[in-house]
Amino acid sequence: MQLNPIPYLFMRVALLLLLASFVFFIAKAQLPDIKLSPVEHPLDSVKHFKKILIVGEGNIQAHAFVDMLAAELIKGFKTKNIECKYQFLGDKSKVNTAAVLESSKSWEPDVVFHLNPVSNTMNNKREIGIVPIDLRRTNIVAPFGYENNRYVKNEFELLLEENNTSLWFSTLSLETKFGKKNFFKQLRMMIIEDMERQLVLPS
């Protein structure tokens, strides 16, 4: 007696749909948690800068983060015909960062954009993840299991100042899966979009 293949095919299709929705759920759950909280203080008229000096400071972890964020910001500012220079000032517990900053200002920028770390923490999370399955088998179990993932949370203060006067300020809280680096473009777009909204940059 030949078995009806329809129930088996239906089961395969249903499982594939379940797996696709589960992959979407997993991917969404692991997206970076970005909270940019700018102070609401729009300027009276749009600024037009020619030169922006981007500076950062902190420990080794902060150094890596600031390097990548600065690189993205430079890309964004260049689309507005703004010349940029980036300088990592060092760890203020080991280096006179104020002196390095003053030396960097010899470039004579219109404004200085400070990327200052507030905190950096790591924690482990037990999350649902996908496990390998064999679609050729009929005794299939649920295609998921638990795994331990490491997350990094960074908090920063972002300050754009002109002659020691604040033009734009925001706090930044960012929690991402350890090793992920694909969020810097999104972060750059969020920062520049708000600067445009508050007339710090031309749109």
Q: Which of 192, 168, 55, 50 is nearest to 110 (CA)?
A: 50
Below-50 pLDDT ranges, the chain:
1, 22-30, 138, 140
Which residues make Cβ contacts (< 8 Å) with residue 172, sequence separation at least 6?
Answer: 34, 35, 36, 37, 154, 155, 156, 157, 158, 187
**C-alpha to C-alpha distance for 2 and 151, rounded to whole angstroms:** 53
Render pLDDT for 139-163 as a digit per residue (tens, 0 to 9): 545 555 566 777 889 999 999 999 9
**Cα–Cα–Cα angle for 162, 165, 167, nearest 5°?**
70
Query: What pLDDT was estimated at residue 181?
Result: 76
Domains present along the chain, CATH in parentheses: 33-128+149-197 (3.30.160.150)
